[in-house]
Chains A and B, each alone.
Chain A
Amino acid sequence: MSWLSSFWRTSIGGKMTMAVTGLLLFGFVVAHLLGNLQLLQGPDAINEYAKMLHDLGPLLWVARIGLLVVFVVHVVTAVRLSQANKQARPVPYASEATVQATMASRSMVLSGLSLLVFVIYHLLHFTLGVTNPGHFAMKTSGAGGFDVYAMVSNSFANPAIALAYAAFQLVLFLHLSHGIQSFAQTVGIHHKRYTPMIKTLSFLLALVVAGGNALLALSVQVGLVEVAR
């Protein structure tokens, strides 16, 4: 434990913590998308999937707590590193210029904070049922669990909610497109041939994940998913 905390406190240890927790969170986002794509298959598929997850019981809580820990470590480390970065340049340049840094790389703190706000809203909306308790009225589905299909389709039937979710996917795209390739560089993977490939892959993966999520958010609006009565 002391090894881990002393490693975390170094600059490179902090960077690697960001990289590893970031990759784990990316893995979660991919699994989240793959699971939720079953929304397009109709009520039975997604409701059975939801029941299967809920039936995991204690395992579900292990996964939830694990995810929360990873998320908190990612945020706390980001705060520590970006504060140190701010302190490292007390006087800003009178004339600022950027030569080759991408917009995504320059906005990581901003996109990260936006995603934090989004995740909190998302949990209040779909997990805790605070923001739209009407949608959350837990009906029993045909599969015997919660009717997730009804909750999601009723929510995304609201154009404001659907657009807000879709808009946040742009932020997710920015964050992931820099984050995935950054992981490789930070853990020391850099190669003449593979690094350009990793950069392209990073862009494509971010596009697919954010695009898939946006598709789900807009699914009701474009008529891919029917609203459950």
Chain B
Amino acid sequence: MKVTLHIWRQSQPSDRHAQSARDFQRDGRMVRYELDDVSPDMSFLEMLDVLNEHLIKKGEEPVAFDHDCREGICGACGVVINGVAHGPEKGTTTCQLHMRSFRDGAEIYVEPWRAKAFPVVRDLIVDRSAFDRVVQNGAYVSVNTGAPQDANATPVPKADADKAFDAATCIGCGACVAACKNASAMLFVGAKVSHFVHLPQGRVEREERARNLVTAMDEEGFGNCTNQYECEAVCPKEIPVRVIADMNREFLRAKVREE
């Protein structure tokens, strides 16, 4: 099959502290490529690999994009395809998206996650270390639990375990930020809060965690949730917006109980 690609090319990294959009996007622009040897069985990233081989043969700079496991579990890949993070298939990462999801002759726009907190490193690769800094501020349990316990020594009701697990499936790809009309990270941070607050081990530090995670999120320059739920629609792990309500509730609780 044939496709026409419009891909964001940017050779200089975005300046995180840029005041204007022009400084942020640097030399970035959309570039058009025609590709006529695409198999419908290729994954989206394999299609980009084919494009890159053509570019290398022509002596041009290949398109830089992030990827690692290509099994949909690592969270490294991710581009915005025709305006939708990870493309048209629901609950799918970019690497697990296949070209059969597009019609022959399709025009495909490929762009990086667009957010001030995710500056472009090159082409389609963005710097997601903002997520790491948020996680470092409390998305863990720091209480000492001693030697490994027997399994099931701490009983957790099934319903709570399910809620925690729904949130824990987050792979930190950043699609929620990319899809949000406000570039908000509240689905990601909500998942971290919700992941721990439904478990007895996580409840010990719940207030500190909610406060610290939200403070860290705000410092990174993400936007604010306006309950439009575009994040939930594109999340490859289909994390529900319930986790955002969990975070809101936890943050309020922590602030009210603040001494």
Interface residues of A (CB under 8 A from B): 3, 7, 10-16, 81, 84-85, 87-102, 105-106, 108, 178, 181-182, 185-190
Contact = CB atoms under 8 A, between A and B. Distances in A.
Given A85-B224, A105-B228, A106-B228, 20 more contacts: A11-B214, A11-B218, A11-B225, A16-B248, A16-B252, A85-B184, A85-B223, A88-B183, A88-B221, A88-B223, A92-B114, A94-B111, A95-B109, A101-B229, A102-B228, A182-B227, A185-B245, A187-B249, A187-B252, A190-B244
A14 B224 contact: yes
Contacts of A99: 84, 179, 230, 233-234
A81 B224 CA distance: 7
B227 A88 contact: no
B209 to A, nearest CB: 14
Contacts of B30: 94
A93 to B, nearest CB: 6
Contacts of A89: 114-116, 182-183, 223
Contacts of A90: 18, 20-21, 24-25, 116
B232 interface: yes
A219 to B, nearest CB: 35
B19 to A, nearest CB: 9
B181 interface: yes
Interface string B203-215: 0000000000011
B54 to A, nearest CB: 22
Nearest to B8: A94
B13 to A, nearest CB: 13
Question: Which secondary structure dominates chain B's binding surface?
Answer: mixed
B114 A106 contact: no
Contacts of A181: 227
Contacts of B233: 99-100
Contacts of B250: 188
A105 B227 contact: yes
A96 B114 CA distance: 11
A200 B117 CA distance: 35
Interface residues of B, number: 55
Contacts of A101: 181, 228-230
B249 A97 contact: no
B26 to A, nearest CB: 10
A93 B252 contact: no
A10 B225 CA distance: 12
Interface string B179-200: 1011110100000000000000
A8 to B, nearest CB: 11
Contacts of B218: 10-11
Contact of B247 (A12, A87, A88, A105): A12
Nearest to A109: B226
A102 B227 CA distance: 10
Contacts of B167: none
Contacts of A14: 224
A91 B114 contact: yes
B215 A106 contact: no
Contacts of A12: 214, 247-248, 251-252
Given A89-B115, A190-B242, A108 B226 contact: yes
Nearest to B19: A90
B187 to A, nearest CB: 12
> A3, A13, A97 — which one has the most chain B CB atoms within 10 A of its CB?
A97
A11 B217 contact: yes
B83 interface: yes
B222 interface: yes
Given A12-B214, A99-B234, A178 B227 contact: yes
Closest 5 pairs between A and B when the two form their complex, measured CB to CB:
A188-B249, A97-B83, A88-B223, A190-B245, A85-B182
A91 B25 contact: yes
